[in-house]
């Protein structure tokens, strides 16, 4: 893992570009699409004009929505979209011209920026403090009024093409829920996950267009790195929820996302997937945008090992889902990145060798060049991969289960290596079923939705272990 030494560059850019302005935003509706556009100004030297386009279909209706609510949501989408552009220089002052933020809001956004850019700062060798990494100055004269919206008790499910959102969609569909699937910049494979040939599938799409000026700055050596994409998805989902009159915005973030990427720090690649962000977002929307939305993660009570345990039953997804960021544009598994290896590890105990080969095309445990990533995933290295993966404990327990699946014979390379390591002695003594029976109470699920997950786990225990349990 390479950590750049960009601190001097960070200071130079802050001196050269002392302020960043959120100038204005616009929303334009036609019979064909709803277009949101933004204007960001980098110290009067560079200007950015990103856009988000929502094609109109039978599920979208703006008639019931006030202009105040639409503008309010679009402004807030701009507040999180802005972060992708501000990070190029990390200007010490952000000026908000288009809307009046009170002191509590300014602090809320500062917290999101600081924690959401934890990975960005860490990998660039920058160690800012919360107090002075940025000052948010709100100079707008008008504040949007908070509203109460009347929404149907139906579901909006953002789907990305991986196993987690596919599992949520499937469990909620089996429970006869009224689901609308939302794709942001879909590739062909994410759309395949919900099978467009199924007439019951309801889908809306949003297309995000990045300003080409940002790409030019990246090529010129300005600062670049990870931003909290799930926070952007949260605010865009809020707009889709309003446009489609659906109350429940159902994410697929698990309890494992709460674990920091860098041990003993707050640096977390998945910060905007954590329960902390989920809680903050719900509070902010209710207090400053509208009461009536219900944003929560359906998989929050469970961990990645449990998700693999449940997902392994849904074999119709095996050839369709993809969790590889490297191969996402081509719709393939690269089989050499942390996400591929993690997904392989977490599914291995629950699938046959034939099923694993049909998904990945090869045995990843036999690839020696994956050993450094393997050590990061198991905690032998100081830092976990900066990716959306499970906890160190879950990875180790999955590996121990995989070794036992082999009955300690004919172990592939990485399992043989692990079998001789001290970690095996530590985790072999633990009861992996304890992880499979967990139900994290830090969640915002209704009793009804919690029952769906509990029932699925209990049925899976009977199918796999022949055990009746109560979760």
Q: Along the 471 residues of the chain, how does pLDDT read in single tens digits?
A: 678 899 999 999 999 999 999 999 999 999 999 999 999 999 999 999 999 999 999 999 988 899 999 999 999 999 999 999 999 999 999 999 988 999 999 999 999 999 999 999 999 999 999 999 999 999 988 889 999 999 999 999 999 889 999 999 999 999 999 999 999 998 655 556 666 445 567 899 999 999 999 999 999 999 999 999 999 999 999 999 999 999 999 999 999 999 999 988 999 999 999 999 999 999 999 999 999 999 999 999 999 999 999 999 999 889 888 889 887 778 889 999 999 999 999 999 999 999 999 999 999 999 999 999 999 999 999 899 999 999 999 999 999 999 999 988 899 999 999 999 999 999 999 999 999 999 999 999 999 999 999 999 999 999 999 999 999
Distance in angstroms (rounded) separating the CA atoms of residues 244 and 241: 5
Q: What is the largest CA-CA distance in the chain?
A: 71
| 305, 343 Cβ separation under 8 angstroms | no
Confirm if 308 and 347 have CB atoms less than 8 A apart.
yes
Domain boundaries, the chain: 7-297, 304-465
Global pTM value: 0.95
Distance separating alpha carbons of residues 158 and 400, to the nearest angstrom: 33
53 phi, psi to nearest 5 deg? -115, 130
Q: How far is CA 249 from the centre of its chain?
A: 14
d(CA 453, CA 238): 24
DSSP code string of 137-156? EE--S--PPPEE---EEEEE
Distance CA 278, CA 443 (A): 9
Q: Which residue has the tokens 């990061």?
A: 376
CA distance 380 to 373: 10
């Amino acid at each position: 893992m390479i950590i750049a030494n960009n601190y001097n560059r960070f200071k130079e850019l802050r001196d050269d570009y002392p302020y960043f302005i959120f100038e204005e935003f616009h929303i334009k509706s036609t019979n064909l699409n709803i277009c949101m556009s933004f204007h960001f100004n980098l110290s009067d030297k560079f200007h950015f004009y990103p856009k988000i386009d929502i094609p109109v279909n039978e599920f979208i209706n703006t008639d019931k929505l006030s202009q105040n609510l639409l503008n309010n949501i679009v402004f807030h989408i701009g507040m999180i979209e802005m972060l992708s552009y501000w990070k190029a220089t990390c200007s010490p002052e952000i000026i908000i011209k288009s809307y009046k933020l009170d002191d509590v809001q300014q602090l809320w956004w500062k917290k999101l920026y600081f924690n959401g850019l934890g990975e960005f700062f860490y990998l660039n060798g920058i160690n800012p403090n919360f107090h002075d990494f940025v000052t948010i100055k709100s100079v707008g004269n008008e504040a949007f009024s908070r509203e109460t919206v009347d929404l149907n008790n139906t579901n909006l499910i953002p789907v990305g093409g991986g196993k987690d959102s596919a599992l949520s969609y499937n469990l909620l569909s089996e429970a006869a829920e009224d689901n609308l699937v939302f794709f942001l910049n879909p590739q062909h494979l994410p759309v395949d996950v919900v099978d467009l040939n199924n007439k019951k599938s309801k889908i809306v799409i949003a297309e995000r267009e990045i300003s080409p000026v940002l790409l030019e700055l990246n090529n010129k050596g300005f600062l670049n790195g990870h931003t909290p994409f799930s926070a952007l998805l949260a605010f865009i989902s809020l707009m889709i929820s309003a446009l489609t009159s659906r109350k429940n915005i159902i994410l697929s973030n698990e309890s494992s996302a709460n674990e920091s990427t860098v041990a003993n720090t707050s640096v977390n690649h998945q910060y905007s997937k954590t329960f902390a962000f989920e809680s903050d977002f719900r509070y902010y929307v209710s207090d400053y945008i509208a009461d009536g939305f219900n944003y929560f993660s359906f998989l929050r009570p469970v961990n990645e090992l449990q998700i693999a345990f449940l997902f392994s039953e849904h074999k119709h997804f095996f050839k369709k889902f993809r969790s590889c960021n490297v191969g996402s544009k081509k719709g393939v598994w690269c089989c050499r990145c942390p996400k591929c290896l993690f997904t392989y590890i977490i599914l291995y105990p629950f699938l046959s060798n034939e099923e694993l080969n049909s998904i990945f095309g090869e045995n990843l445990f036999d690839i020696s060049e994956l050993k450094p990533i393997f050590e990061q995933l198991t905690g032998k290295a100081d830092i976990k991969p900066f990716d959306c993966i499970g906890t160190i404990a879950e990875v180790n327990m999955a590996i121990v289960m995989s070794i036992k699946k082999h009955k300690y014979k004919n172990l592939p390379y990485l399992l043989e290596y692990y079998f001789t390591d001290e970690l095996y002695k530590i985790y072999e003594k633990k009861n992996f079923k304890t992880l499979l029976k967990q139900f994290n109470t830090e969640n915002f699920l209704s009793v009804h939705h919690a029952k769906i997950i509990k029932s699925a786990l209990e049925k899976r225990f009977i199918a796999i272990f022949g055990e009746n349990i109560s979760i």
